[in-house]
């Protein structure tokens, strides 16, 4: 019985590009994410950088496009601060992350109110329940002003 020979852990440029394109076919990636995922398979860091530069030149990798898609996806469920932190953690430039988070901030009160309405069917009747809801919205990345408005709106029975 012959053992199947395992290929070397380092791939040539063509194999590395194929791996990058397969990753990009699944979803958008930031340049930093793609570099991190490709690094273990590359012969050197220079090979990864050369490939990423070529992919950027061909508009196959775009931090801006990735950030817009990610911000849209997150803004349905989270507040502007959580969106900004997530984008920064994924290697998006701070100015782009701040701009996209500010764009998502416009509907934060309505979104926070809707999230509270889905999670909690009835208004908070005690201070303990109100504090629980405030902590929940804080964990979702909403600002204190937004949380106050959403919790007050939920308590008064307003719709968003």
Arithmetic mean of pLDDT, 24-29: 92
Q: What is the pLDDT of residue 121?
A: 84
3-state secondary structure of 52: helix
Tell me, yes or no, whether 45 lies in a domain.
yes
Counting the structural domains of the chain, the total is 3
Arithmetic mean of pLDDT, 11-35: 90
Q: Calculate ∠ Cα 35-37-40, nearest 5°.
A: 95
Q: How far is CA 96 from CA 65, 68, 71, 78, in A?
A: 10, 9, 11, 18
Arithmetic mean of pLDDT, 29-36: 92
Q: How does pLDDT run across 52-68, given as a tens digit for each residue?
A: 999 999 999 998 999 99
What CATH number has the domain bearing residue 32?
A: 1.10.10
Tell me, yes or no, whether 5 lies in a domain.
no
Arithmetic mean of pLDDT, 25-48: 91
CA distance 113 to 93: 30
Domain range for 151? 108-156
Arithmetic mean of pLDDT, 16-25: 92
Cα 97 to its chain centre, rounded Å, is 10
Q: Kindly report whether the global pTM for this prediction surpasses the value 0.95.
A: no
57 and 67 together in one domain: no
In the predicted structure, residue 113 carries a pLDDT above the cut 70: yes
Tell me, yes or no, whether 51 lies in a domain.
yes
In the predicted structure, residue 152 carries a pLDDT above the cut 50: yes
């Amino acid at each position: 019985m012959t053992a199947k020979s395992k290929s070397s852990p380092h791939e040539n440029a063509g194999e590395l590009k194929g791996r990058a394109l397969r990753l990009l076919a699944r979803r958008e990636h930031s340049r930093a994410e793609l570099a991190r995922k490709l690094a273990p398979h590359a012969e050197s860091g220079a090979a990864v950088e050369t490939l990423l530069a070529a992919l950027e030149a061909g508009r196959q990798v775009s931090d801006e496009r990735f950030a817009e898609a990610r911000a849209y996806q997150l803004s349905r469920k989270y507040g502007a601060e959580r969106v900004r932190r997530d984008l920064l953690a994924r290697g998006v430039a701070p100015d782009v992350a701040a701009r996209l988070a500010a764009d998502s901030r416009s509907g934060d009160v309505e979104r926070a109110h809707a999230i509270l309405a889905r999670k909690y069917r009835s208004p908070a009747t005690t201070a303990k329940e109100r504090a629980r809801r405030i902590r929940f919205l804080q964990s979702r990345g909403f600002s204190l002003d937004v949380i106050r408005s959403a919790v007050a709106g939920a308590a008064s029975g307003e719709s968003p």
